[in-house]
């Protein structure tokens, strides 16, 4: 994931890193690429954290009581069959969405 920001959109910050982490960063990432590297890694980690928060917030939103059609495999199969039948056009009926 590459972040592209204009120079005026960037802001300097001071952070404290454990010595071993900084040493590893210095060994792996060239000096003039460290800010970009840190920014990309941080953006990826933030995206994961946001996904976890969204999952936690939505936990329990789907219940068997509110969706009885999904209670077991047989119920799901019946629901899928009805859904798929609604996708087909009865024989002899014109479908205006298709070109002639």
Q: Supply the pLDDT for residue 65.
A: 83
DSSP string covering 72-93, please? SHHHHHHHHHHHHHHHSPPTT-
Say yes or no to pLDDT of 97 above 70.
no
Statement: residue 25 has pLDDT above 60: yes
Query: By three-state DSSP, how is residue 5 classified?
Result: coil
**Alpha-carbon gap, residue 53 to 46, rounded angstroms:** 10
Res 63: pLDDT? 82
In the chain, what are the domain boundaries?
12-57
At residue 17, the pLDDT reads: 97
80 by Cβ neighbours in 10 Å (0-12 / 13-18 / 19+) ranks as: exposed
Let me know: does 15 contact 51? Beta carbons within 8 Å: no
pLDDT in tens, 56-85: 999 888 887 888 888 889 989 999 999 999
């Amino acid at each position: 994931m590459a972040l592209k920001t204009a120079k005026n959109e960037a802001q300097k910050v001071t952070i404290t890193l454990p010595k071993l982490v900084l040493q590893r960063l210095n060994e792996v990432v060239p000096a003039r690429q460290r800010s970009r590297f840190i920014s990309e890694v941080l953006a990826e980690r933030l995206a994961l954290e946001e996904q976890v928060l969204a999952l936690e917030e939505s936990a329990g939103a789907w219940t068997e009581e509110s969706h009885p059609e999904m209670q077991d495999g047989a119920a799901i199969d019946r629901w899928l069959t009805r859904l798929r039948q609604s996708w087909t056009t009865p024989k002899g009926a014109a479908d205006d969405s298709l070109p002639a």
